[in-house]
């Protein structure tokens, strides 16, 4: 009988080339694959699992932690004599609780383990609501007043007319009801306006920006994201005393802190707002452009420029000068284009301006077949956010057809990457969005043999859009280890012995 232990002074080490002690030296996908391989070897005579519990439930890598939890749960479910193992005492009650929802937990953790990027996520649409409340509290900012101000803003008054004033500062539940879009709602604009207003109210200080950026990295990391591309519009963070450079500096330091702690790569794009904002802040396109150029010298291929906002207000061509100027710099060129019905011509403009990444682009099909082919051959990457598209009625203007099952992603699978857009406002994340797509769009995540082709394809598509090509190559290799690790793990979980 093989006896396995964690190695070291406690006892004999098994016959495997790889030991748990050796495993601790590995990082990321290699650590996951190593763990799975060791478990596969010890599978026939599993007599000690304390090493597994002790060393991996707190492993630095999130996928190793998830895999350990799944393996422990599986062992408990299939080896009744292990249930009383003293080493399991600290986690027994937690494990028992999750065991009750075993299938769901497996699905959630395996989905979270899939290799992912999120190349399009707006910081102000993705602040945790608890953080909005906390920052408001610390900074003596009245969210009640933020609502009152929004209601008296002529651009928002009609939409917010039916929203009653708050009697006191909102609770977490009230904040959620006011600013998060649940399902598909005809009055989604209310939540869209307020979601951003509440978040922006607390993102006017260095502390707020830095914390929101760090927490975005943390939340994304827990969902298996390995590379993240955040978007901020400096012109919207200027009601305090911060300058453009201070706004970027605070956000970058939060992203850098997240990178150091969780190992995620990052990009930051500075957004120019179309339409009404260009009228309100006429200098902001030029200022944003120059700020991006300055910061790209310090972080080449990590700083981007993006034109955002309602497409029908201003065509992308109005900002051609910005892209002409930045074409010869290491700034990543991006633009929201073809997000809204009837706006596919903006995708054509994007290609003519040297832009290789468009926000959404889901209405590409409006263009002629020849034009579509030209855009595809050009190498455009579509940053698609199906949940956001659905909730903003962008899948179709016909409410009957505006369903996830009709989302254009199915036709863009070879050229698209999945993104969350506005995590908090849209109530989505990198795990639930994938699961919704599996349910509604029949986008299969896992098959009999393990991870299916589609999630890996979406991951690989994203790599050619990443500004830092060295990072992209490393992610490709990392993705392979993770894929093998998940497939091996799923094999172990199928084993009822």
Footprint of Zn ion (CB under 5 A):
359, 421
The nearer residue to Zn ion, 118 or 421, going by C-beta atoms, is: 421
The nearer residue to Zn ion, 61 or 124, going by C-beta atoms, is: 124
The nearer residue to Zn ion, 285 or 359, going by C-beta atoms, is: 359
Closest separation between CB of residue 387 and Zn ion, Å? Answer: 12
The Cα–Cα gap between 430 and 434 comes to 6
The Cα–Cα gap between 293 and 114 comes to 34
Q: Quickly tell me which residue has 């790889």 as its tokens.
A: 18
Closest separation between CB of residue 360 and Zn ion, Å? Answer: 7
Closest separation between CB of residue 330 and Zn ion, Å? Answer: 22
Task: Please answer whether residues 468 and 302 qualify as being in contact, where contact means their C-beta atoms are separated by less than 8 angstroms.
Answer: yes
Task: Please answer whether residues 425 and 192 qualify as being in contact, where contact means their C-beta atoms are separated by less than 8 angstroms.
Answer: yes
The Cα–Cα gap between 193 and 236 comes to 13
DSSP H/E element including 268: strand 265-273
The nearer residue to Zn ion, 64 or 119, going by C-beta atoms, is: 119
The Cα–Cα gap between 58 and 65 comes to 6
Token pair in block for residue 300: 């080449």
Residue 305's DSSP bridge partners are: 270, 333
Closest separation between CB of residue 183 and Zn ion, Å? Answer: 20
- Reported as half-sphere exposure (CB side, CA atoms, 13 A), residue 160 has a value of 23
Closest separation between CB of residue 100 and Zn ion, Å? Answer: 38
The nearer residue to Zn ion, 422 or 438, going by C-beta atoms, is: 422
The nearer residue to Zn ion, 106 or 360, going by C-beta atoms, is: 360
Closest separation between CB of residue 447 and Zn ion, Å? Answer: 32
The nearer residue to Zn ion, 65 or 360, going by C-beta atoms, is: 360
Task: Please answer whether residues 292 and 299 qualify as being in contact, where contact means their C-beta atoms are separated by less than 8 angstroms.
Answer: no
Closest separation between CB of residue 307 and Zn ion, Å? Answer: 10
Residue 169's nearest CA partner among 195, 194, 137, 201 is 137
Q: Quickly tell me which residue has 């008054």 as its tokens.
A: 157
Residue 334's DSSP bridge partners are: 357
């Amino acid at each position: 009988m093989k006896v396995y232990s964690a190695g070291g002074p406690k006892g004999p080490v098994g016959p495997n080339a790889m030991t748990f002690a050796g495993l601790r030296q590995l990082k990321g996908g290699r650590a996951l694959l190593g763990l799975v391989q060791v478990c596969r070897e010890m599978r026939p005579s599993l007599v000690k699992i304390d090493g597994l519990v002790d060393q991996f439930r707190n492993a630095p890598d999130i996928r190793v932690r998830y895999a350990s939890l799944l393996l422990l749960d599986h062992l408990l479910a299939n080896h009744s004599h292990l249930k009383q193992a003293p080493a399991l005492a600290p986690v027994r009650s937690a494990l028992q609780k999750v065991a009750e929802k075993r299938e769901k937990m497996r699905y959630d953790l395996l989905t979270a383990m899939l290799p992912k990027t999120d190349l399009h996520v707006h910081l102000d649409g993705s602040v945790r609501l608890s953080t909005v409340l906390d920052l408001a509290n610390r900074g003596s900012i009245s969210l009640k007043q933020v609502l009152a101000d929004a209601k008296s803003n002529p651009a928002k008054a009609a939409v917010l007319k039916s929203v009653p004033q708050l009697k006191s500062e909102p609770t977490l539940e009230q904040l959620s009801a006011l600013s998060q879009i649940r399902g598909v709602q005809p009055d989604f604009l209310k939540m869209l306006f307020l979601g951003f207003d509440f978040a922006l109210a607390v993102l006017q200080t260095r502390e707020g920006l830095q914390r929101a950026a760090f927490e975005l990295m943390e939340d994304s990391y827990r969902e298996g994201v390995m590379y993240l591309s955040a978007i901020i519009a400096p012109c919207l963070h200027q009601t305090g005393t911060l300058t453009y450079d201070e706004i970027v500096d605070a956000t970058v330091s939060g992203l850098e802190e997240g990178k150091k702690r969780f190992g995620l790569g990052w990009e930051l794009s500075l957004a120019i707002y179309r339409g009404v904002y260009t009228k309100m802040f006429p200098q902001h396109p030029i200022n944003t452009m120059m700020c991006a150029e300055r910061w790209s010298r310090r972080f080449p291929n990590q700083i981007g420029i993006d034109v955002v906002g309602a497409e029908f207000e201003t065509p992308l061509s109005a900002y051609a000068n910005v892209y002409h100027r930045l074409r010869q710099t290491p700034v990543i060129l991006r633009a929201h284009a073809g997000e809204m019905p009837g706006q596919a011509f903006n995708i054509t403009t994007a290609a003519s301006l040297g832009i290789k990444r468009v926000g959404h682009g889901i209405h590409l099909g409006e263009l002629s077949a020849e034009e579509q082919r030209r855009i595809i051959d050009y190498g455009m990457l579509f940053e698609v956010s199906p949940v956001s598209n659905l909730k903003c009625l962008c899948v179709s203007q016909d409410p009957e057809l505006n369903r996830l099952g009709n989302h254009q992603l199915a036709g863009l699978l070879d050229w698209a990457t999945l993104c969350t857009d506005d995590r908090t406002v849209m109530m989505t994340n990198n795990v639930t969005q994938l699961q919704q797509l599996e349910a509604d769009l029949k986008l299969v995540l896992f098959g009999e043999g393990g991870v299916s082709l589609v999630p890996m394809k979406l991951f690989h598509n994203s790599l050619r859009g990443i500004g830092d090509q060295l990072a992209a190559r490393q992610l490709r290799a990392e993705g392979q280890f993770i894929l093998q690790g998940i497939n091996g793990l799923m094999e172990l979980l199928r084993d009822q012995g």
